[in-house]
Amino acid sequence: MAEWRYHIISLLTPFFFLYLFSEWFRSEHIYDPVPFMLVGLIVVEVFQFALWKSSSTEEDVSGAPWSHVFAGQLISVAAIAAAMGLIIYAIGFVVVGKGITSLWTIVAVIGLILFLSLVFASIGLFLTATVGNCKTREALITALILTFPFFSGAYVASSLLPEAIQTLSDFNPLTYAVALFRSASLELWNAPLGELLYMELAVEIGRVTITPILALFILGGVGLVFMVLSALCCGRRRR
């Protein structure tokens, strides 16, 4: 029962932030800030669900091969996080009334939610495998859940943050997840680079410009690294 209450509160929380902060995104290129912020909040919720569910995975004592155990944990965590993300997406866009003009957008949205769920689940399982103390792990995951979203551009535009925090935002994987999902769900893949930069859907680090397409590969690499590390940790514990 307590878990269901947590899920219901988690479903309602994004809409509280949506109507509290959405006007901060209104600008020359963002005339309707509500859907723009909504899709960023969806990524945050997927991130939070993946990390929380990863921390609550139990050690398997069935004697099954470690590869099967790891695959089961990864899929179960990612599936729950993706399901919650899709539910919030469906409810949100019914409430907001934002239309989707292409079937490919729906396919891209579903695919990206599944993709991001796997990436975040891999990070969460790695933390679970490497931080043995339960209280320490919970404190670490709580710290990540509270800080990373605020440095990602989901709640407030990164340009409004202090300069030092903007630098941290450039190295926050959630920043690129938010930008990637926004560009896909709002059908801005083909927007001019200048417009992407203005809307913070592309990020400049020195002379390098990280577009949504490049962000997709970066996140894929991050997810793959943490997936391999998590699998190795899982295999080592069961030997």
Q: Is residue 123 exposed (0-12), middle (13-18) or buried (19+ Cβ within 10 Å)?
A: buried
Bridge partners of residue 208, in order along the sequence: 205
Residue 25 located in a structural domain: no
Q: Please report whether residue 24 resides in a domain.
A: no
Find where tokens 């995104």 sit. Answer: 25
Q: What pLDDT, on a 0 to 100 scale, did the predictor assign at position 168?
A: 86
- Identify whether the C-beta of residue 35 lies closer than 8 Å to the C-beta of residue 148: no
The percentage of residues in the chain with a pLDDT greater than 90, rounded to a whole number, is 20
Residue identified by tokens 């398997």 is: 60
pLDDT of 128 > 80? The answer is yes
Residue 61: its pLDDT value, please? 47
Q: Which long-range contacts (CB under 8 A, 24 or more apart) does 163-170 make?
A: 170/203, 170/205
Enter the DSSP assignment of 29. Answer: S
**Is residue 20 situated within a structural domain?**
no
Q: What is the mean pLDDT of residues 6-22?
A: 61
204: β partners: 209
Domain tally, the chain: 1
- Note whether residue 175 is domain-resident: yes
Q: pLDDT value at position 26? A: 59
Whether residue 239 has pLDDT greater than 50? yes
Angle between helices 33-55 and 103-130 (to 10 degrees): 30
The domain of 127 spans: 32-237
Is residue 111 one of the residues assigned to a domain? yes
Give pTM, 2 decimals: 0.84
Kindly state the average pLDDT of the residues 2-12: 59
pLDDT at 10 over 80: no
5-19, 66-80, 114-128, 207-221: which range is least confident on average? Answer: 5-19
Model confidence over 147-189: pLDDT tens digits?
Answer: 888 888 887 777 777 888 888 888 899 999 999 998 988 888 7
- Residue 110: pLDDT band (50, 70, 90) is very high
pLDDT at 138 over 70: yes
107-121 mean pLDDT: 94
